[in-house]
């Protein structure tokens, strides 16, 4: 069972003791309000923090340190979660017993992680210009490079269309325009605000709690005047844009069709489980309605599957489809949703789905990354459910509850990326 420690105002530490792994994972997760005006600063910040610090001023110095710590890895990202942006900087490091020369690895790596978070490389009250420009250029490439992966690009476009001006509709890495406004000063201000106001959740997963890690974090945060700490004010209904249909043309061989649906209210572990089972029977595994009917029986798509995003009460169906089949595929996908609503899915499909979801949930605890992601995404849940708790809820889901969940589903947005018309 996870052990939770309160380290400072709005700063919690979670230690999950697990001696099965050869590594220790330490993850700093900062939750700040999701707002357009601060989005790009916060999106860039984790990349900047994880590229250098006052102690290792260049990326190469940092990487050499990590290499010598037996390939310790730092990962950083910022994701949207409910009405928040979650900024993470994480470390995965080999346990001390594997050291060839007998020197401690974990404590040194943990200190390095703390330096990245609390002691970045600064010039007065700003991040250094050269570092900012380097990371800005990388981020610009990430934003523009979204188009390289057509499936991901199409999903991102559908999300943006669904949410319109709501900050949840912002592209994953933010917009070029906002990125250009970021400065060393604005990043410094975002970093200081994050340390002052973010709700902070530090996850440690490993055979033992590295000595002093939580006390050091506690001391660091206690030295900061913590105020206006991000608080969860309940689940809010998503702020959707007007429903829309958009077709974009590009020089591609295979088309992409993404359909965005709203799911109604998702505010408890119980109706989350109903939705999980419903969306899985609809378009999860190879037993699903979309796979067996739209892909296998009708051969309309190379892939056709659906994912539910519980944090925003939406579901996306995405498919790779030939242009001439797109209309028919859309009709068949909606037809399968009717099957779900009418309870015309088979008992086999229902049972396969429950078994498959439970099997996947059981495996989460076998990966440090999986455990970290599980708890990082549930910090606002009050009493935090373990994967085992959710398994028990999923097992109790009935056919009627699946039908009821399907009846809440409404088509909102259709986005398609299709070959140029003259290429047909």
415 binds another protein (CB under 8 A): no
196 binds another protein (CB under 8 A): no
Write out the H or E segment, with its range, that includes residue 357. helix 347-364
335 binds another protein (CB under 8 A): no
5 binds another protein (CB under 8 A): no
424 binds another protein (CB under 8 A): no
* Of the residues 37, 348, 421, 422, which one makes contact with another protein according to CB under 8 A: 348
Residue 238 CB, shortest distance to another protein, in Å, is 29
- Region 64-83 residues binding another protein, contact defined as CB under 8 A: 64, 66-72
CB under 8 A: which stretch of 111-119, 215-223, 353-361, 393-401 binds another protein?
A: 353-361
CB under 8 A: which stretch of 133-141, 219-227, 272-280, 373-381 binds another protein?
A: 133-141
- Region 206-235 residues binding another protein, contact defined as CB under 8 A: none
- Range list of β-strands (E), 233-322: 244-250, 255-262, 301-309, 314-321
107 binds another protein (CB under 8 A): no
Residue 239 CB, shortest distance to another protein, in Å, is 30
Q: Of the candidates 196, 229, 188, which has an alpha carbon nearest to the alpha carbon of residue 49? A: 188
- # binding residues, another protein (CB under 8 A): 60
362 binds another protein (CB under 8 A): yes
346 binds another protein (CB under 8 A): no
Cα separation of 74 and 62, whole Å?
A: 10
* Of the residues 216, 358, 403, 404, which one makes contact with another protein according to CB under 8 A: 358
Phi, psi of 157 (to 5 degrees): -65, -40
203 binds another protein (CB under 8 A): no
Residue burial 80-117, b: 16+ Cβ < 10 Å; e: rest? bbbbbbbbbbbbbbbbbeeeeeeeebbebbbebbbbbb
Site track for another protein across 142-161, x = CB under 8 A: x-xxxxxxx-----------
Q: Of the candidates 348, 340, 355, 356, which has an alpha carbon nearest to the alpha carbon of residue 402? A: 340
CB under 8 A: which stretch of 190-198, 217-225, 297-305, 372-380 binds another protein?
A: 297-305
Cα separation of 380 and 404, whole Å?
A: 26
* Of the residues 3, 6, 236, 299, which one makes contact with another protein according to CB under 8 A: 299
301 binds another protein (CB under 8 A): yes
22 binds another protein (CB under 8 A): yes
DSSP 101: S
251 binds another protein (CB under 8 A): yes
406 binds another protein (CB under 8 A): no
* Tokens encoding 138: 């990388």
- Region 364-393 residues binding another protein, contact defined as CB under 8 A: 365-368
Quick one: 210 exposed, middle or buried, by C-beta within 10 A (0-12, 13-18, 19+)? buried
Q: What is the dihedral of CA 346, 341, 286, 395, to 10 degrees?
A: -70
- CA angle (71, 73, 78) in 5-degree steps: 170
Q: For residues 407 and 62, is the Cβ–Cβ distance under 8 A?
A: no
* Of the residues 54, 98, 246, 396, which one makes contact with another protein according to CB under 8 A: 98
The residue (of 140 and 229) whose beta carbon lies closer to another protein is 140
C-alpha to C-alpha distances, 356 to 288, 340, 348, nearest whole angstrom: 11, 18, 12
Cα separation of 388 and 383, whole Å?
A: 14
Phi, psi of 349 (to 5 degrees): -65, -40
Q: Of the candidates 139, 52, 115, 47, which has an alpha carbon nearest to the alpha carbon of residue 87? A: 47
Cα separation of 411 and 310, whole Å?
A: 16
103 binds another protein (CB under 8 A): no
Q: Of the candidates 365, 356, 339, which has an alpha carbon nearest to the alpha carbon of residue 394? A: 356
60 binds another protein (CB under 8 A): yes
* Of the residues 212, 286, 335, 343, which one makes contact with another protein according to CB under 8 A: 286
Report the length, in residues, of the chain.
Answer: 424
The residue (of 69 and 263) whose beta carbon lies closer to another protein is 69
The residue (of 67 and 335) whose beta carbon lies closer to another protein is 67
285 binds another protein (CB under 8 A): yes
Give the footprint of another protein on this chain (CB under 8 A): 20-23, 58-60, 63-64, 66-72, 92, 94, 97-98, 100, 134, 137-138, 141-142, 144-150, 250-254, 285-287, 299, 301-302, 320, 322, 348, 351-352, 355-356, 358-360, 362-363, 365-368
């Amino acid at each position: 069972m996870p052990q939770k420690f309160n380290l400072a105002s709005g700063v919690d530490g979670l230690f999950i003791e697990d001696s099965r792994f050869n590594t220790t994972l330490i993850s700093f997760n900062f939750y700040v309000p999701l707002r357009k005006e601060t989005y790009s600063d916060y999106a860039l910040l984790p990349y900047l923090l994880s590229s250098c610090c006052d102690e290792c001023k260049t990326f190469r110095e940092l990487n050499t340190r990590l290499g010598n710590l037996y390939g310790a890895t730092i990962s950083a990202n910022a994701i949207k979660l409910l009405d928040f942006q979650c900024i993470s900087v994480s470390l995965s490091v080999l346990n001390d017993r594997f050291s060839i020369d007998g020197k401690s690895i974990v404590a040194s790596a943990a200190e390095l992680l703390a330096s990245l978070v609390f002691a970045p490389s600064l010039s007065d009250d700003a991040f250094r210009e050269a570092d900012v420009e380097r990371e800005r250029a990388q981020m610009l490439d990430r934003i523009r490079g979204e188009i390289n992966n057509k499936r991901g690009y199409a999903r991102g476009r559908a999300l943006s269309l669904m949410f319109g001006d709501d900050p949840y509709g912002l592209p994953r890495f933010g917009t070029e325009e906002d990125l250009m406004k970021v400065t060393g000063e604005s990043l410094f201000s975002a970093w200081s605000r994050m340390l002052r106001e973010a709700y902070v959740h530090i996850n440690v997963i490993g055979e033992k709690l590295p000595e002093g890690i939580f006390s050091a974090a506690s001391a660091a945060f206690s030295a900061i005047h913590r105020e206006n700490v991000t608080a969860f004010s309940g689940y809010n209904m998503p702020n959707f844009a007007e429903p829309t249909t958009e077709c974009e043309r590009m020089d591609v061989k295979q088309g992409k069709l993404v359909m965005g649906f709203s799911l109604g209210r998702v505010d408890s572990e119980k109706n989350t489980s109903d939705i999980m089972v419903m969306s899985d029977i609809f378009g999860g595994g190879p037993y699903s309605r979309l796979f067996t009917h739209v892909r296998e029986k009708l051969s309309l798509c190379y892939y056709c599957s659906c994912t539910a995003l519980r944090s925003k009460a939406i579901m996306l169906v995405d498919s790779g489809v030939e242009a001439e089949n797109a209309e028919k595929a859309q009709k068949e996908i909606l037809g399968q949703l009717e099957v779900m609503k009418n309870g015309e899915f088979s008992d086999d499909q229902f049972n396969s789905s429950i078994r498959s979801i439970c099997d996947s949930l059981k495996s989460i605890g076998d990966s440090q990354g999986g455990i970290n992601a599980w708890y990082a995404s549930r910090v606002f849940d009050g009493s935090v459910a373990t994967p085992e708790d959710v398994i028990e809820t999923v097992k109790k889901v009935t056919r009627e509850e699946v039908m009821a969940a399907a009846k809440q589903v409404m088509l909102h947005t259709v986005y398609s990326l299709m070959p140029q018309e003259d290429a047909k």
